[in-house]
Chains A and B, each alone.
Chain A
Amino acid sequence: MKKLNSLDDLARFSQHSQHLNALKNSNEAAILVSVDPVCIAKGAEAIKDALVAALADAGLGNIAVYEVTHIGNPEKEGPDILVYPRETHYVRLVKADVPEIVNAIKTDTVVTRLELPLPVVKDEELHDPEPKEVRVILESIGKLNPLAIEDSIANGAYGSLAKVLGEMQPDEVIETVLASKLRGRGGAGFPTGLKWKFVRQAPGDEKYLVCNADEGDPGAFMNRKVLEGDPHAVIEGMAIAAYATGARQAYVYCRAEYPIAVNTMNLAIDQARRLGLLGENILGTDFSFDLEVRMGAGAFVCGEETALLASIEGGRGEPRVRPPFPAQKGLWDKPTNINNVETYANVPKIIGRGVDWYSSMGTEKSKGTKTFALAGDAANTGLIEVPFGITLREIIYDIGGGIRGGKKYKAVQTGGPMGGCLPEKYLDLPVDYETLGQAGSIMGSGGMVVMDEDTCMVDIARFFMEFTQDESCGKCIPCRVGTRRILETLQRICKGEGKPEDIPLLKELCEETKQDSLCGLGQGAAGPVISTMEHFMAEYEAHIYDKKCPAKVCRDLIEFSISDNCTGCTSCARYCPTNAIAGERKEKHVIDSSICIRCGICHNVCKFDAIVIE
């Protein structure tokens, strides 16, 4: 692969890549050879030379042979080539295979022993957009091959970087992003342009750029999809941010739970570097910039920016007091710009299509679009992207298809473990940073878990508190002790051991944990408890006073039995994990409640609605 040494080189490479892309739909004969480093190590270059020579010998010198960064899995299938117009994928080639392949081209046949069709991958997470969606960040995902940089460049990737390098001063870039009113997609919604300005203005020559890809909120997977599906949008956005802020080195901090995202990013970075889109003197300009991926190791708190920096520095991911903010004192005490994956991915779009286009979407204070991970009891789950200002009802009912199984809506949980649960009365709320905050939840990074009537809100509060208590790093006392006391209280209530004074106690604990904790984790930890107490107090009271779980979830407050509907099919007895169900075939079964752990598997497998929960 030759480095691109000028803006014109990039334009030419883009045209070349578009030509390669168009081969799929043309009758042109051509051969693509993967020059992935692994394929090269296995002799791809010699195979390419042999192909060119053999084609010439066979009088097929008019068939062009092109190098591409990636075709199939290089480890398992390399060296591999793609032969057009048939689009035949030949794998695990050695030089000796070349004459046979050229002969097949000449006779318009296929060497079946070498052929391995490219897999057709079906994406279960990203459906065709619903009418109310607007896809900007997700636009290209699924349509381009994230493992081959040519595909992205054919689709316009790095065009905005070229525009910035060729036409704009760093301050102009910052002004443009400011004017677009882009806000941080990590959840807090801080104006991105302003953050960049702070970093640019911070004294010192050594500055860093960090991409927060530690998407730890349970229920959120938008960033993973962007990293896996459109990595070059993130790299380009980071390069533009580096140009604007004056940073020369960047890190993408990605959680270890996302191995595919890490691999995809590493491959994309390597390909960009080989083309000279990263490294020294990018596209022949005096702008130099490089980045690498750093992996987390399973600590949720590392999504907090100061904890994340501590982790990149190689230590325990414990947060510290702000100020000073990372823009003043960040990585290795140098000014550091930290943005979320989606924030960076927005930048090339804004530069490329203009501020007016961007700010035409969204509300007064929240511009553009937001990706959400719709999960839980919605009929259609998966990734969606909507303009700010759309209502929760439109998201859940028009895009999500309502509640699965025709059940009743109970709440939507937004913002992850620091967020809140919003009941039906908020369904017509327009979704943006401010209104979600006023309603007692947060935008967060974009997880949206829909819950139906079978969900116990006290149990959900307990679930989240178990999570935050477990993930509390322990550095500050309000969070370390506060989350534990809240959790113990909730566990007691769920067991039916709650006391009336637990409600004021919970309120007090929540307030103090929120006020006094060091970082966002502790400050937000009480969110799910506060919001469920506000909107679903009746459920708390039922647990405490009546010792009942209205949603029939809390195991200590329910009993399972079998009604006369039972046909004796034995299904429940077979799947019961504690063998608590007995009965003869075709006779009514009985549950031994002293062994029953109330897991509900029998209820799920019974086809005759015979399992009664009380």
Chain B
Amino acid sequence: MPEPAKIRDPLDMPEQRRVIDRTIDEFMHLPGAAMVVLNNLQGRIGYITKPMQAYIAERMNVPLSKIHGVVSFYSFFTTEPRGKHVVKFCIGTACYVGGAEQLIDKTKQVLGINPGQTTPDGMITVEVCRCVGACSQAPVIVVDDLNHGKMQATRINNVINQILQSEAVSAA
């Protein structure tokens, strides 16, 4: 039996490592560089692990406590990989009044996971987020950066199916 694949840190993957180095080199000399480096790494790698934080701190010659302090302060920075697709539920005022909670309830049933969790196959992560600023279209859900406005609980199934179908197509 083959060993189950261990999750490797991006630092240990040559391609990812190059992205990390390039990103640090590109931005480390800017004033206030820590936020810029971390924002770009979050975007390019998708998460910032503890070993990555230590590496960044060393390369930028700042205390690890500073890098970790920033990573843990802002909700956009994550330390673990997320699913291939991310479904975000806006819970701003207009979306809340417009029934965002119902949408989350329905999604729990369809995917069997709570906000903040990822499906066991690593395909979909469900998150809630504060106002995405599309309030006139409330309630809004965001699927991989694309806003779906005036969402209804009755359409949640379709949205999830679309994600899974697009995956099936690209796999084929």
Q: Is the CB of A489 closer than 8 A to any CB of chain B? A: no
Whether B105 lies near A577 (C-beta < 8 A) is yes
Q: How large is the interface on B (under 10, 10 to 19, 20 to 34, 35 or more residues)?
A: 35 or more
Chain A nearest CB from B88 CB (Å) reads 9
CB pair B136 A373 closer than 8 Å: yes
B102 interface residue per 8 A CB criterion: yes
At the interface with chain B, which of A21-29, A216-224, A498-506?
A216-224
Q: Does chain B have a CB within 8 A of A381?
A: yes
Cβ proximity bits B69-83 to A, threshold 8 Å, 1 near / 0 not: 110011111000000
Q: Does residue A383 face the partner (Cβ distance < 8 Å to B)?
A: yes
Instruction: Please give the distance in Å from A441's CB to the nearest CB on chain B.
Output: 13
Given known pairs A124-B137, A604-B153, the reply for A220 and B74 (CB within 8 Å) is no
Q: How many Å lie between the Cα of A416 and that of B130 in the bound state?
A: 12
Which of these binds chain B: A4-12, A253-261, A510-518? A253-261
The interface residues of chain A lying within 8 Å CB-to-CB of B93 are: 218-219, 375-376, 413, 416, 447, 449, 463-464
Contact of A298 among B76, B95, B106 (CB under 8 A): B76
Q: Which of A111-119, A163-171, A313-321, A387-395 lies at the interface?
A: A313-321
B74 touches A299 (CB 8 A): yes
Q: Which residues of A contact B39 (CB under 8 A)?
A: 256, 295, 297
Query: Is the CB–CB distance between B153 and A297 below 8 Å?
Result: no
Indicate whether A575 sits within 8 Å of B153 (C-beta atoms), given known contacts A219-B93, A294-B32: yes
- Say whether, besides A124-B149, A314-B32, A218 and B70 are in contact (CB < 8 Å): no
Contact, CB under 8 Å: A577 / B106: yes
Residues of A within 8 A of B36 (CB): 294-295, 314
Number of A-B contacts (CB under 8 A): 160
Tell me the complex Cα distance, A550–B92, Å.
Answer: 23
User: When the two chains form their complex, are residues A374 and B136 in contact, meaning their CB atoms are under 8 A apart?
Assistant: yes
List residues of chain A with CB within 8 A of the CB of B153. Answer: 575, 577, 599, 601, 604-605
Distance to closest chain B CB from A461 (angstroms): 12
In the assembled complex, the Cα of A318 lies from the Cα of B33 at a distance in Å of: 17
What are 16 A-B pairs with beta-carbon distances under 8 A? Answer: A124-B136, A218-B131, A257-B129, A257-B130, A298-B75, A298-B76, A300-B130, A311-B35, A312-B35, A373-B135, A376-B94, A455-B97, A575-B106, A577-B108, A599-B102, A605-B154
Q: Using CB atoms and an 8 Å cutoff, list the residues of chain A in contact with chain B.
A: 124-125, 215-221, 224, 256-259, 294-300, 311-318, 332, 373-377, 381-383, 413, 416, 447, 449, 451, 455, 460, 463-464, 467, 471, 473, 575, 577-579, 597, 599-601, 604-605
